[in-house]
Amino acid sequence: MKNVQFTTDKKLWLYGGLTIFVALWFAPVLPPGIDWDRPAGLWVELFKAPLASDVSWAWLPVVIFFLLSRIVGIALIFSIPAVAVGWVIHAVIVIIRQKIRTKHDPTT
């Protein structure tokens, strides 16, 4: 059995990871009934905060900081599985592509 070298397709890995990262933002992670049961709802809340009548202008920076800290935290948490699963998807595609190329080109 010969040792086969596979090349990393960074663009494929990037696109796969970004797709998973974006998909995770729309996955329901909280129980229903909360305004933002999907993390993407935090962005809606962030833009609704200045328009809300129940938030005074004095508390607006605190509310925005709270929402932004949640968004950053969730983004950091979602980045780990997105990179890992994106790499696995990338590896499977690269291996399949290599097998197809060697099947059609016997010199490699």
pLDDT tens digits, 79-97:
999 999 999 999 999 999 9
Torsion sign, CA atoms 75, 77, 82, 87: positive
Is the residue at 3 inside a domain?
A: no
Residue 55 is classified by DSSP as S
Residue 83 falls inside a structural domain: yes
> Virtual CA dihedral for 100, 104, 105, 108, nearest 10 degrees?
30
pLDDT confidence of residue 31: 65
Within a domain: 21 = no
23 located within any domain = no
The verdict on residue 43 lying in a domain is yes
**Cα separation, 70 vs 65, whole angstroms:** 9
Residue pair 43/64 in contact by the 8 Å Cβ criterion: no
Q: Is residue 6 part of a domain?
A: no
* 36: confidence class by pLDDT, cuts 50, 70, 90: low
What are 43-58's pLDDT values in tens digits? 777 777 777 777 777 8
- Give me the amino acid identity at 84: A
Residue 65 reports pLDDT greater than 80: yes
Tally of domains in the chain: 1
Length of the chain (residues): 108
> Would 75 be classed as within a structural domain?
yes
Structural domain including 38 reads 30-104
Over 70: is that where the pLDDT of 72 sits? yes
What pLDDT is attached to residue 39? 79
Residue 8 lies in a domain: no
* pLDDT band with cut points at 50, 70 and 90 for residue 35: low
